[in-house]
Structure 1
Amino acid sequence: MVSIKDIAKHAGVSISTVSYALNGNPKVTEETSKKILAVAKQLNYVPNAAARTLKKRETKIIGAYLTTLEGAFYGELLQGMKEELNKRDYDLVICSGTQSHRMLPEGMLDGAIILDRLFSDEELLLHAGRGHKLVVLDRELSHENIVQVLLDNKAGATFAIEYLIRQGHKKLYVVTGPEGSFDSDQRLAAVRQAVERGGPGLTYNEIPGNFDKASGVSAARRILAEYDGPAAVFCQNDEMAIGVYQALKDTPYRIGEHLHVVGFDHIEISDYLQPRLATVDYSERRWGALAAEQLIKLIACEGAEHERVYVSLIEGESVGRIE
């Protein structure tokens, strides 16, 4: 690999003069600068990004850590992050898996946005204690170098259950997310509280899921196996709700008549389901943009603040009224 020493040797100047010229420093005359740049081009010189990072102590790169890349949820979230970061001359890299965790302590990132269950709280607090700037989307942590940008999971789950109860439903199921998921735990806690307030005559069951279509298919098959009349199903995300639709496709049972379904996330594909899916709505793109905005403020020491992303309920024909 060509170094600035090689350029200096070919151009007959000092290493410091080459460095000034490559960085556009006015200490070097225009004639000398042109000569050095020509030699650099001739030698196919490529700047050493790692060395430059060590000198400036910045990379202008932000990491987004995700547990998985599966599903339709992440596209809008990441696009929101990317657009906001690009406005501020930062680039985004997507990270997944424990090996990528070393990018933080090795100084390859200026900060990170975390939506990754593989990061323990202890590990994140350790990084924050060493000065790394973090925004978390999937947990509550208290540290001066950590900002929380959280979805209002409890409000969304409450909206869903109260909607089903208002429609007259007495037999309720909830299909949960994976064990240890912050979002799932928050939603489940709110569901249990809403059911307790729902009054007498309610029956309630929890079915473990994994935030994927397969979980929805499995949950629907269990519900149909014990079916004895109309049942309401709150799927903790739209992917699982789509799985419920899929499971009923070749059966005599119908969404909105036999099974009444509410999802969460309002992913784009849910708008094309028939009957239209009732779901908890918020802007994934806005969530990503808020996370990026607060991380840049944290890096720049500009008064970053915790944020909450608010949600609303979109009613749909997937839920009918029970008289």
Structure 2
Amino acid sequence: MVSIKDIAKKAGVSISTVSYALNGNPKVTQETSARILAIAKELNYIPNAAARNLKKRETKILGVFLTDYSGAFYGQLLQGMRETLSQKGYELIVCSGKRSHLFLPERMIDGAIILDETLSDEELLQYADLGHKLVVLDRELDHPNISQVLLDNKAGATLAINHLIDKGHRKIYVLTGPKGTYDSIQRLNAVRQAASRHPDIDFTEIEGNFIKSSGEKAAKQILEESNQPVAVFCLNDEMAIGIYDYLSNTDYKVGKDIHIIGFDNIEVSNYVHPRLATIDYSKWRWGAVGSEQLLKLIANEPVEHERIYVTVIEGESVTNI
């Protein structure tokens, strides 16, 4: 690989002169700078980004850590992040897996947005102690270098349960999410609080994992257990779509035999028939606010924790009984 030492040798100048020329420093005359840049191009010189970043202590690149990329959820979230950051001259890379955790301590990125349960609280607090700037979307951490931008899961789950109760439903299944995820835990806790306030309602929990196949599996169980109309609160829309898919091969009808409400209002929820009732919020805004908070932390500006609010979208998948 060509180095600035090779350029200096061919140009007959010092290494420092080459460095000044490559970085546009006015200490080098235009004529000398043009000659050095021409030689660099001729030799196919590629700057050592890692060394340059280490010297400047910035990369103008931020990372978002995700557990995985599957499902229909992430597109708008990432778009909100990317558009917000690009306006400020930053680029975004999406990180997943243990090896990517090294991007922070090795300063390959200037900060990170976290939506990844594989990063432990202890690991994140350790990075924050070392001065790394972080925004968490999936947990509550108290540290001056960490900002929280959390979804109002409790309000959303409460809205969903109340919507079913208001429609007259007294037998309600709850299809849960992965046990370790913050959003799933918060939503399920809200459901359990609602159950404690309504002892006349029969709540049954079915373990899910936020993917469509768990919705299909849950639908099979529900049909085996119940011979009367029931309601199902799926802690995300993707599992709700799984129930739709399973019922499409049976004589049972959504909104008649099984009443379904989801959470997230993913795009496909607008097109299933009958329209899925769900909990809505702006995923674009969630990503945008998370990015804004991270930029403030990097600039050492004061930040306050933010919350993303939710609303219920009524659909024909839930009707009066």
TM-superposed CA distance for 1:128, in Å, is: 0.6
How do 1:1-323 and structure 2 match up within 5 A? 1-198=1-198, 200-322=199-321
Q: Deviations over 1:104-129 (max 9, x none)?
A: 11111110111001011111111111
When normalised by structure 1's length, the TM-score is 0.98
TM-superposed CA distance for 1:228, in Å, is: 2.3
Q: Deviations over 1:37-76 (max 9, x none)?
A: 1111111111110110110011111111111111000111
Which amino acid is the alignment partner of residue 12 of structure 2? G
Which amino acid is the alignment partner of residue 214 of structure 1? S
Q: Deviations over 1:197-237 (max 9, x none)?
A: 23x53111001100000110111111100112110100000
Task: State the percentage of identical aligned residues.
Answer: 67
Segments of structure 1 that go 5 or more residues without pairing to the other structure are none
Secondary structure of the equivalent of 2:262? Answer: strand
Aligned partners of 1:187 and 1:194: how far apart in 2?
11
Segments of structure 2 that go 5 or more residues without pairing to the other structure are none
Which amino acid is the alignment partner of residue 219 of structure 2? A
Using the TM superposition, name which of 167-176 and 300-309 deviates more. 300-309
TM-superposed CA distance for 1:305, in Å, is: 2.1
| RMSD over aligned Cα atoms | 0.8
Aligned partners of 2:227 and 2:270: how far apart in 1?
29
Secondary structure of the equivalent of 1:261? Answer: strand
TM-superposed CA distance for 1:150, in Å, is: 0.4
User: In 2, are the aligned partners of 1:131 and 1:145 still within 8 Å (CA)?
Assistant: yes
When normalised by structure 2's length, the TM-score is 0.99
Aligned partners of 1:145 and 1:278: how far apart in 2?
38
Aligned partners of 1:54 and 1:104: how far apart in 2?
12
TM-superposed CA distance for 1:28, in Å, is: 1.0
User: In 2, are the aligned partners of 1:215 and 1:240 still within 8 Å (CA)?
Assistant: yes
Which amino acid is the alignment partner of residue 64 of structure 1? V
The ranges of structure 1 where at least 4 consecutive aligned residues each deviate by more than 2 angstroms after the TM superposition are 195-198
Aligned partners of 1:89 and 1:286: how far apart in 2?
19
Aligned partners of 2:31 and 2:226: how far apart in 1?
85
Aligned length: 321
Aligned partners of 1:41 and 1:131: how far apart in 2?
38
Aligned partners of 1:103 and 1:201: how far apart in 2?
52
User: In 2, are the aligned partners of 1:81 and 1:291 still within 8 Å (CA)?
Assistant: yes
Aligned partners of 1:319 and 1:171: how far apart in 2?
13
Using the TM superposition, name which of 89-98 and 157-166 deviates more. 89-98
TM-superposed CA distance for 1:250, in Å, is: 1.1
Secondary structure of the equivalent of 1:100? Answer: helix
Secondary structure of the equivalent of 2:172? Answer: strand
Aligned partners of 1:158 and 1:195: how far apart in 2?
10
Aligned partners of 2:98 and 2:33: how far apart in 1?
45
User: In 2, are the aligned partners of 1:156 and 1:280 still within 8 Å (CA)?
Assistant: yes
Secondary structure of the equivalent of 1:205? Answer: strand
TM-superposed CA distance for 1:304, in Å, is: 2.2
Aligned partners of 2:145 and 2:86: how far apart in 1?
22
Which amino acid is the alignment partner of residue 108 of structure 1? M
Which amino acid is the alignment partner of residue 136 of structure 2? V
User: In 2, are the aligned partners of 1:65 and 1:115 still within 8 Å (CA)?
Assistant: yes
Aligned partners of 1:77 and 1:162: how far apart in 2?
27
TM-superposed CA distance for 1:195, in Å, is: 2.2
